[in-house]
Amino acid sequence: MDINQLINDVKMYAKEAIEYEKNNDYANAKKFYTKASSSLNILRKADENKYNIETYKKKMEDYMKKAKEMEEKDQENKKIKVDAGGGKEDDENAKLMEQLSGTLITEKPNVKWDDVAGLEKAKEALREAVVIPIQFPQLFKGKRKPWKGILLYGPPGTGKSFLAKAAATETGGKFFSVSAANIVSKWMGESEKLVKGIFDIARKNKPAIIFLDEIDSVMSARSENENDATRRLKTQFLIEMQGVGKDDEGILVLGATNIPWALDPAVRRRFQKKIYINLPEEKARRLMFKLNLGQTDNDITEQEFDTLAQLTDGYSGSDIATLTQDAIYEPLRKVQRAKFFKYINNNENLICCSPSDEGALEMKMSDLSDNNRYFCYVNIGNGRSKLVEIVEEEENGNKVRKWPLPPVSKKNKNNMDLFEQPIHHDFEIKVHPSMLKCPKVTFEDYIHSIQKIKATVNKEDLKQNEQFTKDFGQEG
């Protein structure tokens, strides 16, 4: 059985599955994730390397989990088609509903309020608009009704989309993430039908949140020179948001934009609450560093987190995530540059080290890139040792290991003899990629990354957002 061919098959199936998942074709995504898992199972039985077996097993479990997830999403999409179509739609409407259910992203976000650092006023407003009406419907009687439209605006990367997902998680309702690609069509009249279809599906799947990211891309201010199709699309959206003659209870429209001043005034009016999502304050930035670092091994102290929060004034949440990602890569870069490694955890793992460290072995990361290489220790003087490869050669049809030749004389700068001598021919080690461990992330890694990763928010944009807040919005 060709192991390399099996590995190539797994890569091909996984690539196909990811492409199908991106295109929301969950049935085919499930099919190819299952194929990748099956191939890994065969590979696990065929390969005798214990490190590889563990890797294959873990990856196989991951693909099985993904296949199950794809099956659930496929069933969810089919349910939406049935609910929306009711089985009595004409051919044209049935086709439209099928198109919508295939392009809309119907998610169950796993984002809690605690995952959102800061933004307490924004979270309070969303609880008031989304969570309380569903949990305590008896409180909303007479003229007290839930909000139907909330606009989240502010600089890019401040967590507007994240807040929307947290709100959807708390309600447990359907979350429809809509982009311009879902509602803009080149065919006459189809864009309006798509907009109407989105709201119809949401009404049949309450409670639901319709989230329109970058809403300014399709709902900018109307003008005399505007394309007629674009004008009709905006008109249909305004009609659906108004909800005249339709039951819109349990439907919340959430919009997000970086340039709220570009929205059409009628669209702006439909969003009853407009919440400014500003750059994070120092306390929030401190929490963001911890959330983004997660379970990654590090030795950063509480005082150092305080310093990082102070040094990143003007950074958005996205900037801090990018900064943390770069800092997490710093230990990997150290491993790539390292020329000395030592064993830890009872010789189970290797970590880069200084040449002066006890047990330092002279080798490179590339020495760990092959699964079938054997080495032995060789003394090189001054209490130091290095790895010398044990070569495997074919003799009479059998593989025979050739140990390094003992003693090999060399000359030092004083023309004195030095010797390289293998230490104990009966002791050998095998190096494997899975044995390598990264050093912990340090405060110095962050400082190094701060020199490269700068804040991306423009001060002029901040001024315009602040002016919009004074005129129309509220602080989040």
Note the pLDDT tens digit of each residue in 36-67: 888 888 877 777 666 677 777 888 888 888 88
Domains and CATH numbers, the chain: 3-82 (1.20.58.80), 104-279+466-475 (3.40.50.300)
Residues 24 and 269: their CA atoms lie apart, in Å, by 34
pLDDT(329) > 70: yes
Residues 167 and 131: their CA atoms lie apart, in Å, by 7
Read off the pLDDT band of 380 (50, 70, 90): low
Read off the pLDDT band of 96 (50, 70, 90): low
What's the mean pLDDT when you consider all of the chain? 78
Place of tokens 């959330």: 291
Residues 6+ apart with CB under 8 A from 463: none
Residues 445 and 332: their CA atoms lie apart, in Å, by 11
Mean pLDDT check: name the lowest of 9-13, 251-255, 430-434.
Answer: 430-434
Q: Which pair of structure tokens corresponds to residue 358?
A: 């006890």
pLDDT value of position 430? 63
Phi-psi category of residue 185: left, alpha or beta, with phi > 0 → left and psi -120 to 50 → alpha: beta
Note the pLDDT tens digit of each residue in 116-154: 888 888 888 888 877 788 778 788 888 888 888 889 998
Contact 178, 210 (CB under 8 A): yes
Tell which residue, 163, 158, 160, has the closest CA to residue 116: 163
For the chain, the distance separating the N- and C-terminal CA atoms, rounded to the nearest angstrom, is 61
How far CA 302 is from CA of 113, 286, 451, in Å, comes to 23, 9, 21
Read off the pLDDT band of 378 (50, 70, 90): low
Contact 231, 222 (CB under 8 A): yes
Note the pLDDT tens digit of each residue in 195-235: 888 888 888 877 788 888 888 888 888 777 777 778 888 88
Residues 282 and 126: their CA atoms lie apart, in Å, by 23
- DSSP 3-state of 264: coil
Packing angle between helix 302-311 and helix 282-293, nearest 10 degrees? 120
The 10 Å Cβ neighbour count of residue 234 is: 21
pLDDT value of position 11? 84
Note the pLDDT tens digit of each residue in 151-185: 999 888 888 888 888 887 777 767 788 877 667 77
Tally the residues of the chain.
476
- DSSP 3-state of 394: strand
Q: Fill in the DSSP letter of residue 48.
A: -
Contact 276, 469 (CB under 8 A): yes
